[in-house]
A = this chain, B = another copy of it.
């Protein structure tokens, strides 16, 4: 069934469609320019074939891991004009093709970038490709979140697990199933929070509500869960009712800034990426207001080592308003109210593994996605998933779980050994 919610239909229309192979001769200046560009981005381990079907770049240090092809001159020059946006759009439109594994190709780009010690020149060069994320005011957040999360539950159901968890799973062993790893993530968080039966938990940004269901079912706690995506809230309420958990869970369609009440634990999994650094101090005030004296909290978020603006393509096509924080920036949440950080765990490779599962399921349902949307969408989301795997593998993105409590809370577990007991 065709979805009426394809947010990429305008983008697809804006990309020219010509014949795949343009027989125009490649000018020497084009080869020279492209090689200069490859030097600037650290000479990634790829080769590049132009529209004359000939190789014009080949990594000088090592055997290329994948090959990129330009359909035509127009795509080539668009890429120069705005590399960050046009690589994604060119790929989505089928004007840029990758031969070999897409994830490995993108990993090669990240590895080249990280090898370069000083990003100065490149930053200047690709500045136009970097975006200022859209603002996450109360109204802006709704627009941004709906662009992504309201693509339809049917779409996400195709490639997420049963519980519709759309955040990093925790693989106690890399070989366990996605379903088990998503449940293990929730157990890991519940253990970090040291939940006790009868306690009250508030969740900021609850997605399709899986954490609340898991905590209510297995830890005997009450959960009040906030989310501004109507379709996610509707789904979450329906499932809680069907599973007779609705006496212990309250899903509220509202912004984290409106949280009322006081709680034993505050938890937020995969929301901070969408909060915007300028609102971290506000989030800290919310936590301070709603946490009981004896309370503790956990924030699980994609992060980065250094502050880098999001790519224009990701910002415009996939995830408006998203901007993963550095650990330094996250301290804006905790320092104001004087909360004590107890534990930070970086599980970025678990996110690479999680998205490998998603991409495999996505590929298996490619036809279904094409039916709902179109070919441009299919390729755009493939690129998004593949690039995400590559980012987490290369360390261009991190995944932080941060546990915190008020200072002087002295009844927490003496060591972290309890997290690892069977």
B-binding residues in A (CB < 8 A): 110-111, 114, 170-174, 305-306, 326-328, 331, 334-335, 338-346, 348-349, 393-396, 398, 406-410, 414-417, 419-420
Q: Which residues of B contact A417 (CB under 8 A)?
A: 172, 420
Contact A407 B420, CB 8 Å, known A334-B305, A335-B328:
no
26 pairs of residues in contact across A and B, judged by CB atoms under 8 Å: A110-B408, A114-B408, A172-B415, A172-B417, A305-B334, A305-B335, A305-B341, A305-B407, A306-B335, A327-B327, A327-B341, A331-B331, A340-B395, A342-B345, A343-B345, A344-B344, A349-B410, A393-B408, A393-B410, A394-B408, A396-B407, A415-B420, A416-B419, A416-B420, A417-B420, A419-B420
Hey, which chain B residues are within 8 Å of A419, CB to CB?
Answer: 416, 420
Chain B residues near A341 (CB-CB < 8 A): 305, 327, 344, 346, 398
- Contact A340 to B305, CB < 8 A, known contacts A331-B328, A335-B326, A416-B345: yes
B340 pairs with A343, CB closer than 8 A: no
Closest chain B residue to A407 by CB distance?
Answer: B395
What distance in Å separates the Cβ of A281 from its nearest Cβ neighbour in chain B?
A: 13
Asked whether A114 lies within 8 Å of B338 as measured between CB atoms, the reply is yes
Which B residues are in CB contact (< 8 Å) with A415? Answer: 170, 172, 420
Output the least CB separation between A373 and chain B (Å).
33
Known pairs A328-B331, A416-B416. 20 more at Cβ < 8 A? Answer: A172-B415, A172-B417, A173-B414, A305-B335, A305-B339, A306-B335, A326-B331, A328-B328, A328-B335, A340-B348, A341-B344, A341-B346, A393-B410, A394-B408, A395-B409, A415-B420, A416-B419, A416-B420, A417-B420, A420-B420
Question: Once the chains are docked, how many angstroms separate the CA of A128 from the CA of B338?
Answer: 23
Least Cβ–Cβ distance between A187 and chain B, in angstroms? 13
Minimum C-beta distance from A412 to chain B (A): 8
Cβ contact of A343, chosen from B111, B342, B346, cutoff 8 A: B346
With A111-B408, A415-B172 as contacts: A327 and B331 at CB distance below 8 Å: yes
A410 contacts across to B, CB distance below 8 A: 349, 393
Alpha-carbon distance A398/B407, docked complex (angstroms): 9
For A343, give the chain B residue with the smallest CB separation. Answer: B345
Complex: how many Å from CA A341 to CA B346? 7
Q: How far is the CB of A95 from chain B (nearest CB, A)?
A: 30
Question: A393-B408, A415-B172, A416-B420 in contact; A342/B346 too (CB < 8 A)?
Answer: yes
The docked-state distance in angstroms from the alpha carbon of A328 to that of B394 is 24
Q: Roughly how many angstroms separate A374 CA and B344 CA in the complex, as a whole number?
A: 45
Q: How far in angstroms is the closest Cβ of chain B from A344?
A: 4
Contacts of A305 in B (CB 8 A): 334-335, 338-341, 407
Query: Which B residues are in CB contact (< 8 Å) with A340?
Result: 305, 346, 348, 395, 398
Q: Please report the C-alpha to C-alpha distance between residue A227 and residue B91 in the assembled complex, in whole angstroms.
A: 55
Q: Which residue of B lies closest to A303 (CB)?
A: B341
Question: Complex formed: what's the CA distance from A110 to B340 in Å?
Answer: 15
| B residues near A349, Cβ cutoff 8 Å | 410, 414
Which residue of chain B has its CB nearest to the CB of A402?
B344
User: How distant is A305 from chain B, measured CB to nearest CB, in Å?
Assistant: 5
Q: Which residues from chain B contact A171 at a C-beta distance below 8 Å?
A: 414
Q: How far is the CA of A349 from the CA of B411 in the complex (A)?
A: 10
The 6 closest A-B pairs by CB, nearest first: A395-B407, A344-B344, A328-B331, A395-B408, A417-B420, A420-B420
Q: How far is the CA of A415 from the CA of B171 in the complex (A)?
A: 8
User: Nearest Cβ distance between residue A168 and chain B, in whole angstroms?
Assistant: 13
Question: Are B393 and A338 closer than 8 Å at their CB atoms?
Answer: no
Identify the interface centre among A331, A393, A419: most chain B CB within 10 Å of its CB: A331
Residue of A173, A305, A398 with most chain B CB atoms under a 10 A cut-off = A305
A414 to chain B, nearest CB (A): 6
Question: When the two chains form their complex, are residues B306 and A338 in contact, meaning their CB atoms are under 8 A apart?
Answer: yes
Chain B nearest CB from A329 CB (Å) reads 9
- Shortest beta-carbon distance, A396 to chain B, in Å? 7
Distance of A339 Cα from B327 Cα, bound (Å): 12
